[in-house]
Chains A and B, each alone.
Chain A
Amino acid sequence: MAHDERRRPVWVGVATFAVLIVAWFALTTWTSTIGPGRFPSPREAFDALRQIWVQGYADARLPVHALHSAKLVLLGFVAAVGLGVPLGLAMGWSRTCEAFANPTFLLLRPIPPLAWIPLAIVWLGLGDAAKVLVIWFAAFVPAVINSYSGVRSIEPHLVEAARTLGVSRRRMVTEVLIPGALPMIFGGLRLSLQACWTTLVAAELIGAIAGLGHVLYQASLDLFPAMIVVGMVAVAVTAALMTIALDIVERRAMPWRRA
């Protein structure tokens, strides 16, 4: 049965988008079923895009906003991965470490990153540091959990075999632990990255001067639906690009999985 290896024909996807765009025109421009104050027409959305691309909106042009956001996400993400993955690996490897670190983790984990915003402002001010802290909280949890489960999912006899061969501690980590946990780690990184973007928009409510979240915030203060759409699309595209970049890194890091 072909049920399992079916492929989605590309043309259906293209057709879906075409139908949707036609419907968009039909509902807004041609029949104005949806009023301009509720959802923009394609024309308005295009004008808004041109405005932010050429003259700029919310104090900067679109690429500047996107780069600023990407920078914040990257900073928060790298900081979270840099701390989260080693912690997750350590907790996965050593029960002692797990038992000791788990309580803190349990206490902090369920608090949504956005709830840190008020504290981030009073602790770190209005600069990038506060935003990076909030983003860090978002990315940290998935990084730890997945690295932890990654280690736990390594086949025990692999570890045993390495041990009986008298492998050194360092080689155990670099040649057994990390490669074994890598697939799960990358799964976690993907979630982390997504969480970073989700949080970014809210983080940029903290007195940003640039950034896609700032564009969205400003557009919502101006009640400017066309610019809100542009902002949302920009967030989605930038996030998708970063995910693709992560995919490429993943493939490079695990050449053996290419098949």
Chain B
Amino acid sequence: MKRHHWTFAAGIALALASAGALAQTVIKISYQPALYWSLPFYVANEKGWYAELGLKPEFSTFPAGVPQIAASASKSWDVGGAGSVPAVLGAVRYNLLTIGITNDESYANALLATGKTAAGFVKNPASIKGQTIVLTANSTGDYAVQSCLAKWGLKKADVTFKSMGQAEVISAMSSGNADLGGLWAPNTYTLEEKAGAKQICSGQDAGAAVPGALMVRADYAKSDPQNVARFLAVYLRSWKWLNAHKTEAIAMMKKFYAQGGVTISDAAMRKEFDTRPTFDLAQQLKIMHRPGANGASEVDGWFANIGAFMKANGTFADAPMPSKFITDEFLQMVDRDPKLKAFANRAD
């Protein structure tokens, strides 16, 4: 009942906005503050690249992936970035499509231990059996931790998981109330630098690929495919620029992280760049390419593993087929349009 009012009001707002800003279409973008893969959204806006392609971004930010996915149900946003675990959840619950990869964050999702216990756990991983691990359930951090346990031959039942937000994980570990925790960057750096914790195993160490996803609501993809392609082009250009201008990039990152309440050292920020590969247009197309009619792309393989992990967690009864929600259609659109393609590959 109330929805009609909302859509009505939103419609008016949209009409007014588009009338006011010369032929610029509003696109609602969601992300999480103070994260490595969110940086391009911020940079592109500062540089005015959205406007160059006739987009007027309206940003909304979320403290974690799951509320972000939930908010897509109320059409709070059209496109955005999130971890791959929330992306799969969004695919199952609200038909969200994954249209690109933000970065390879396998190294940035990790199991940390407090300073005094880390050495012992590293020397003898079997001693983790029976321990309590604090983490945010249904997150990429959760995925990395469980992959690490598997690497050491431990099962989920061998440990006790306590699920909580990242802020609570940090509190619990920094105050010595928990010895082991699953986190993602930059929280990992906060905990290392301010509480002396140590990263003892990352998704990368455990051989688990943890991608970050760019997503779109299915109905928005259908109604405004052009905008989705333009959004991707802007995102790709931002990475090009960031990777080509490290010093400036770090300075902007510092500002962006501070806005999210994260103050970590320059070295840690540099490490973010060094340990988290990003993909340009050609690379994106390559990892998302499906050989043959029924072939699976590299990305399909990553997401199939994540789906299996979530199924094992009891999040849903059946993991979705990657081919059902992952599509390179919009990257192809960018690739086919010479203007967009050139835009996406600009490093200045």
Which residues from B are CB-within-8-Å of A222?
A: 89, 138, 314-316
Q: Is chain B's binding surface mostly helix, strand, loop or mixed?
A: mixed
Does chain B have a CB within 8 A of A112?
no
Residues of B within 8 A of A121 (CB): 168, 171-172, 175, 177
Partner of B162 from A117, A122, A209 at Cβ < 8 Å: A209
At the interface, yes or no: A90 with Cβ under 8 Å from chain B?
no
What sequence of 0s and 1s flags, for each residue 213-252 of chain A, a beta carbon within 8 Å of any chain B beta carbon?
A: 0000110111100000000000000000000000000000
Does A207 contact B134, Cβ atoms closer than 8 Å?
Answer: yes
Is the C-beta of A125 less than 8 angstroms from some C-beta in chain B? yes
Smallest CB separation, A51 vs chain B (Å): 10
Q: Does B269 sit within 8 A of A, measured CB to CB?
A: no
Q: Which chain A residue lies CB-closest to B139?
A: A221
Within B155-178, the residues touching A (CB, 8 Å) are 160, 162-165, 167-168, 171-172, 174-175, 177-178
Determine the residue in chain B with the shortest Cβ distance to A130: B177
Shortest beta-carbon distance from A141 to chain B in Å: 24
Interface string of B31-49 (1 = CB under 8 A from A): 0000000000000000000
Which residues, 24 to 75 on B, are CB-close (under 8 Å) to A?
66, 69-70, 73
- Interface check B93, CB cutoff 8 A: yes
A38 part of interface (Cβ distance < 8 Å): yes
Q: A221-B137, A221-B138, A223-B70 are in contact. Are A125 and B162 (CB under 8 A)?
A: no
Among A125, A222, A223, the most chain B Cβ lie within 10 Å of the Cβ of A223
Does A191 lie at the interface of the complex (its beta carbon under 8 Å from any beta carbon of B)? no
B168 CB contact (under 8 Å) in A57, A123, A206, A223: A206
B315–A37 touching, CB < 8 Å: no
CA distance A126 to B172 in the complex (A): 7
Residues of A with C-beta under 8 A to B177: 121-122, 124-126
CA distance A217 to B168 in the complex (A): 14
B171 touching A221, Cβ below 8 Å: no
Known A126-B177, A221-B66, A222-B315; judge A118-B172 contact (CB<8 A): no
Q: Report yes or no: A223 in contact with B162, Cβ–Cβ below 8 A.
A: no
Q: Evaluate contact between B175 and A205: CB separation under 8 angstroms.
A: no
Interface residues of A in 155-208 (CB under 8 A from B): 205-208
Nearest 10 interchain pairs by C-beta: A207-B162, A125-B177, A122-B175, A121-B171, A223-B93, A221-B138, A207-B164, A222-B315, A221-B137, A37-B93
